[in-house]
Homo-oligomer: A and B are copies of this chain.
C-alpha cells in the first residue's frame, strides 16, 4: 500500500497541491498551491494536511509514522529553493506557521511569525535588512509569541516587562525603543520564560518549528475555536492544515512595500482594480491603520499624485494588475489579494474570494455573466439571499459614526430616524403633521397597528423576533427593533431610560433594524436602490425556480407592492387587521360583546359591508391570481379595549354600564390565549362571524366577476385540529356559496382549504385532504406547538439556550427540520396520498427565510408566501434551491 502523503510542497513548478484539495490542505494552503501552479510568485513553503491533524487528535498528540522524515525533507527543500538556511547567520530562512481550515476561522487559531530567528540568525537578518531596530523588535515579538502560543506563558508577563522598561526609559510608545533597549528586553523575556517554565525558548529553528506545528494543531480545540465551530456549524472532526511558508518583508526600503487589493470594487461592484498600498512597510502596518495607506491605482483630480503604486512602481503595478486579473479569471470571482514587494520583487501571499456589499455582490454577479465568466446559474448561486435582503431597505451610511445607546433584536431590517413617541395616537398625530416618529412601546398589540403604520420605525422593550411588533413590521417593511431589554419604558413619565441616559418624548433617535442598534440623535440615511442588475437576477431566478412565490398581504397597498416585487398571488390575507381601522373597531367590539345573536347580527351586517369592500380592493390588485383569505383567527379578547375611555365609549354604544362592559371584557381573558378560544374555534362557537366573512369574500368576488375580472378567492380556516371542525365550517360555506351563485347566476371559482398549524392537523392530513382543497402551513403556530414554546415568553430562557447552544438556529426564523419539518413531511405525504394534486404552501414568517425555502423546495411544496419585502428574496432562494437540486441530480 502506498503511504499516505502528509505534506504538500508549494512554490514554483514543483508545487504539489491544487485548489481542489481544500479539504486536505485547507483554504489557504490550496490557494497558495494553486497560485504557484499558475506560475504566480508565491513565497515557497509546504502544507501539512488536515489528515495529520486528525491523526494527532486520534493518537494523543503523536504524529503518523514517517511524518518526521517527510517534515525534515520539506524543510530542506524550502531551504534549497530559497537558497537560505534555517538559523543561518548570513542568509537566514524565516518562516511563518499558520493554521488553515477548510473554511476560514479568522483569528480563532494560533499563528507564529518570523520563526527561525535566534541569537545567530538575527545578525543575518540585520545584514539583509540593514534595519537593526526592526530585527530586534521582530525577535522580541517572536519570543513573546512563541512562549505564549507554544509554552503557555501568559501574555501579561511580557507586557509587564515592556511596561517597566518604558517607565525606566521615560518613554511612552513601543516605537521609541532603540535596539539596545530591545536587546535588554529580549534578555528579560528569556529569563522570565526560563523562570516560569524551567525551559528556554528553543534556539534550534527545527525545534521551534516542531513546537509551532504542535501548537497550531492544539489550537484547533481551544475554547474560542470550538465555540466558533459550534456557532458556524463546522464539524469538529475536520481538523486544520498547517502552512509553513517563507517570510518575505515589505519593509526593506523604498523598493519594498505591501498591500491588499481587489480585482473589482467590493463596495460598488464596479469592474475597477482597487486596493491599498504602503511603501516600506509590513502587512500589519496596512491593517493596523497607523499609517494611512496610499492607493494602488492613480487617483484622479485632487488626490492625484499622492504616491500610488501605479505611479511609484509602474512595472510592478502592471504585473500585480495582470496577476490579479488572471486570478479573477481563474477563480471566476472577485479576488481579495495580499501581496508584498521585497526589494523590487512581487510576492503574492494570499488570494481568496472577496467579501462585498449586497450592491456589489449583485452587480459583480450580473457583470460576470455578461462577461461570460460565469453562467446565470452560477451567478444565482453566488448571491446570499440573507445579504441581498438588505438591498430592499434604507440603511445608514456605512461610514457614519454611531453612539449605540442600547441593542435589541433586529426584527425588521432597514434604518429609521424620528422623534420618540410612546402611544400609537401620538404617533398618528405627529405623523399627520409630517413629523417623522419612532414608536416606542413595551410591546405592541393589534390596537397599535395604525400608530405603527404612521411611524418610521418601532422599538419594543420586550418580545422576540416573531412577536406582534416584529411580524407586523416585517409585513409593513418597516424598520423594527424588539426585545430591547436595556431600554426601560415608562409610559406615565413619557420617557425611556437606557443605562444612565433618559430619552423623553420628542427626542430624536435612530434605529438600525439590521443590527438591532438604537442610537441617540439623527444618523444619515441611504434610501434603498433596486438596481437594474437586481431585476436581471430576479428574472433569471424566475426561469429556474419551481416553487411559486406568493405574498402575505392584509391591505390592497401591500398586495400592490408585493405584485410589483413579483408576487404570484396572496398566500395569506389576515382579515383581523382590517378590523382595527378607526371606522370599524367599535362596531367589531360591539359585535363581540352583543348580548344575543340578534344584536350581534346587526353589528355584523355593518362590518360585512366594510369587509366586502376590503376584499374587492385586494382582489382588484391581484386580478388573475389566487388570493387566500384566512378567516378570523385571534382570540376575541385581543380586540377589546383596556383603556377606560374606550370602554366607556363602547358601553354607551352598547347601552350597557361601563362596569358591565368591564366585566364582560374580563370574562374573555384566558390563561393561555395562544391555546385558547381562537381560530376555527371561534367559527364553531360564533358561526355567524365566519358566515359573514365568507359572504363578504364571495360577494366581493361576484362584484368583480360581473365586470369580467378574473378572480380566484381561496377561503382558509385557521387552527384546525380535527376533521370535524373543518367539515362543520366547510358545509356552511359551501351552502352559502351555492345560494350566492344561484342568486347571481354566476359561477365563483372559489376554493376552501385549511391552515396546518397544529401538530394534530399535520398528523391527520390525509383525513383533512379528503375535504380540504388546499393546505397552507402556518409555521409560526406550528413551531410554537411542536416545541411547546410561546414566542411571547421565550425571552426569559432564550439567553441561556443560546449560551449553551441548545438552539442552533432560531426556530422561529428558520424552520426546525427535525421537528416541525418532520411534521410537514408527514402531512405532505399523507395529503398527497389522498389528493395527489392538492396545492400546499407555507404562509408563516418562515416563508421568507431562504433556508426554509430550500426545505420547502425539497419537500415539494407548491409555493411559499412571504411578506412583500421578502418576495424578491424568496424568488432568489427558490431558484437556488432548484439549481442545487438539479446539480445534485447530474
Contact = CB atoms under 8 A, between A and B. Distances in A.
Interface stretch (A654-662, A816-824, A854-862): A816-824
Contacts of A676: 789-790, 793, 796
Which 10 pairs from chain A and chain B are nearest by CB? A675-B790, A760-B819, A676-B793, A672-B790, A671-B792, A758-B788, A759-B759, A724-B806, A672-B672, A672-B674
Given A724-B805, A806-B725, A675 B789 contact: yes
B806 A722 contact: yes
Contacts of A677: 793, 796-797
A763 B819 CA distance: 6
Contacts of A793: 670-673, 675-677
Given A671-B792, A675-B675, A763 B685 contact: no
A804 interface: yes
A793 B676 CA distance: 5
A671 B719 contact: no
Interface in A785-844: 785-790, 792-793, 796-797, 800-801, 804-807, 816, 818-820, 822-823
Contacts of A724: 804-807
A787 B806 contact: no
A684 interface: yes
Interface string A110-154: 000000000000000000000000000000000000000000000
6 contacts: A672-B672, A672-B675, A675-B789, A722-B807, A758-B788, A759-B823
Contacts of A585: none
A213 interface: no
A671 B674 contact: yes
Contact of A685 (B725, B784, B796, B819): B796
A788 B721 contact: yes
A670 B790 contact: yes
Given A785-B759, A787-B721, A728 B804 contact: yes
Interface string A679-716: 00100110000000000000000000000000000000
A781 interface: yes
A675 B790 CA distance: 5
Given A668-B796, A674-B675, A785-B786, 4 more contacts: A671-B792, A672-B674, A759-B786, A763-B818
Nearest to A796: B677
A123 B805 CA distance: 95
A819 B722 CA distance: 9
A137 B723 CA distance: 52
Nearest to A793: B676
Interface residues of A, number: 49
A405 interface: no
A764 interface: yes
A681 B721 contact: no
B788 A684 contact: no
A521 B671 CA distance: 34
Nearest to A443: B671
Most buried by B among A800, A805, A807, A820: A800
Nearest to A724: B806
| Copies of this chain per assembly | 2
Nearest to A758: B788
Nearest to A799: B685
A721 B671 contact: no
A792 B672 contact: yes
A131 to B, nearest CB: 54
A72 to B, nearest CB: 44
B674 A673 contact: no
B781 A760 contact: no
Contact of A797 (B672, B684, B764, B790): B684
Interface string A712-740: 00000001011011001000000000000
A728 B806 CA distance: 8
A610 B823 CA distance: 43
A622 to B, nearest CB: 30
A813 to B, nearest CB: 16
Nearest to A635: B793
A787 B801 contact: no
A784 B784 CA distance: 12
Contact of A684 (B672, B719, B721, B806): B806
A789 to B, nearest CB: 6
B670 A789 contact: no
B684 A759 contact: no
Most buried by B among A677, A757, A788, A793: A788
Contact of A819 (B759, B796, B819): B759
A270 B781 CA distance: 58
A722 to B, nearest CB: 6
Nearest to A792: B671
A721 B820 CA distance: 11
A830 to B, nearest CB: 10
A675 B728 contact: no
A670 B696 CA distance: 37
Contacts of A719: 788
B790 A788 contact: no
A773 to B, nearest CB: 21
A816 B671 CA distance: 23
A670 B823 CA distance: 28
A96 to B, nearest CB: 39
B804 A684 contact: yes
A757 B685 CA distance: 29
A823 B763 CA distance: 8
A721 B790 CA distance: 13
B781 A758 contact: no
A785 B758 CA distance: 8
A443 to B, nearest CB: 9
A471 to B, nearest CB: 15
A716 B67 CA distance: 50
Contacts of A818: 760, 763-764, 767
A797 B804 CA distance: 40
Nearest to A681: B797
B675 A800 contact: no
A781 B677 CA distance: 18
Contacts of A790: 670-672, 674-676
A764 B672 contact: no
Contacts of A758: 786-788
Nearest to A720: B788
A594 to B, nearest CB: 16
A684 B801 contact: yes
Contacts of A784: 675
A822 to B, nearest CB: 5
Contacts of A805: 724
Interface in A243-260: none
Nearest to A679: B788
Interface in A309-343: none
A496 to B, nearest CB: 17
Contacts of A685: 796-797, 800
Contacts of A674: 671-672, 675, 788, 790
A682 to B, nearest CB: 8
Nearest to A676: B793
A677 B823 CA distance: 24
Contacts of A796: 668, 670, 676-677, 685
